[in-house]
């Protein structure tokens, strides 16, 4: 059964990727672009202190109904005055394509990640190469199979389509901002970046 009561979509599908990266010592987590709050609510089952931030006030009302233990913040992660290095886990799903510059976005999220913590980004990008097209085909098949099995739950967060940056551009931004990060191109029109912040 996918996360949440009878809910599945492309973003929920990759919650497990984020949850599997949570270090055992994690005590604080930030969900960037929390939307309806599903990922933040799942993180709260593993991490004692979870914050979800989003620029969209109405969608945060939906998030608050998911979990009362999460601290919900209406704001922009680029400018909100979070202390540097204050989260053991910084996670973001389907948010970075809303921001203008991938490298700057990755750098900001890295700034918020505590030493020894982890940054996990699952995002959307634009297909521009033949290799990208292979993942588009795989995603189309996977979507058909899984949406038939689980149904497709439509979130209420604002959407941006098509994504403004290509996979190549996003990967270049990640590599520049996050030395040693791990990049994966995923089906269902997604990529993943995982970066472990160096210990001091």
The pLDDT score that the predictor gives to residue 1 is 32
The pLDDT score that the predictor gives to residue 4 is 47
119 Cα distance to chain centroid:
9
Mean per-residue pLDDT for 22-28? 97
52 within some domain? yes
* Lowest mean per-residue pLDDT among 15-24, 88-97, 139-148: 139-148
The stretches of the chain forming alpha helices (DSSP H) are: 10-13, 15-20, 38-43, 57-64, 102-112, 130-150, 167-177
143 within some domain? no
29 within some domain? yes
- Return the higher-pLDDT residue of 4 and 61: 61
139 within some domain? no
Range of the domain at 92: 10-126+156-196
**CATH number, residue 58:** 3.40.50.150
User: pTM (2 decimals)?
Assistant: 0.89
Q: Are the C-beta atoms of residues 120 and 17 closer than 8 Å to each other?
A: yes
Query: Residue 106: which pLDDT band, with cuts at 50, 70 and 90?
Result: very high
149 within some domain? no
**Tokens standing for 170?**
């996003």
42 within some domain? yes
Query: Residue 164: which pLDDT band, with cuts at 50, 70 and 90?
Result: confident
Looking at the predicted structure, is the pLDDT value of residue 2 above 60? Answer: no
Looking at the predicted structure, is the pLDDT value of residue 132 above 50? Answer: yes
Query: Residue 144: which pLDDT band, with cuts at 50, 70 and 90?
Result: confident
Query: Residue 115: which pLDDT band, with cuts at 50, 70 and 90?
Result: very high
146 within some domain? no
Looking at the predicted structure, is the pLDDT value of residue 9 above 90? Answer: no
The pLDDT score that the predictor gives to residue 90 is 98
For the chain, give the mean pLDDT: 90
Mean per-residue pLDDT for 104-127? 97
- Return the higher-pLDDT residue of 4 and 101: 101
**Rounded CA gap, 54 and 82, in Å?**
14
* Lowest mean per-residue pLDDT among 2-6, 15-19, 78-82, 136-140: 2-6
Picking from 56, 27, 22, the residue whose alpha carbon sits closest to that of residue 39 is 22
Q: How many CB atoms lie within 10 A of CB 129?
A: 11
14 within some domain? yes
Q: Are the C-beta atoms of residues 50 and 44 closer than 8 Å to each other?
A: yes
Q: How far lies 153's CA from each of 4, 61, 178, in Å?
A: 10, 18, 33
Does residue 162 have a cis bond before it (omega within 30 degrees)? yes
Looking at the 3D structure of the chain, how many domains does it have? 1
């Amino acid at each position: 059964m996918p996360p949440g009561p009878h809910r599945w979509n492309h973003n929920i599908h990759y919650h497990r990727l984020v949850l599997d990266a949570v270090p055992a010592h994690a005590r604080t987590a930030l969900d960037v672009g929390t939307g309806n709050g599903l990922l933040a609510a799942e993180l709260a089952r593993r991490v004692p202190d979870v914050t979800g931030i989003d620029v969209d006030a109405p969608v945060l009302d939906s998030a608050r109904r998911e979990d009362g233990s999460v601290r919900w913040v209406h704001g922009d992660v680029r400018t909100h005055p979070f202390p540097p290095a204050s989260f053991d886990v910084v996670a973001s799903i389907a948010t970075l394509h809303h921001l203008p510059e991938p490298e700057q976005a990755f750098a900001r999220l890295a700034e918020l990640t505590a030493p020894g913590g982890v940054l996990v980004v699952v995002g959307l990008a634009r297909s521009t190469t033949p290799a990208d097209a292979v993942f588009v085909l795989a995603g189309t098949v996977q979507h058909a199979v899984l949406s038939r099995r689980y149904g497709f739950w439509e979130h209420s967060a604002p959407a941006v389509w098509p994504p403004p940056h290509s996979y190549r551009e996003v990967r270049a931004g990640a590599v520049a901002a996050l030395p040693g990060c791990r990049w994966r191109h995923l089906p269902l029109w997604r990529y993943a970046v995982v970066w472990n912040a160096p210990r001091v």
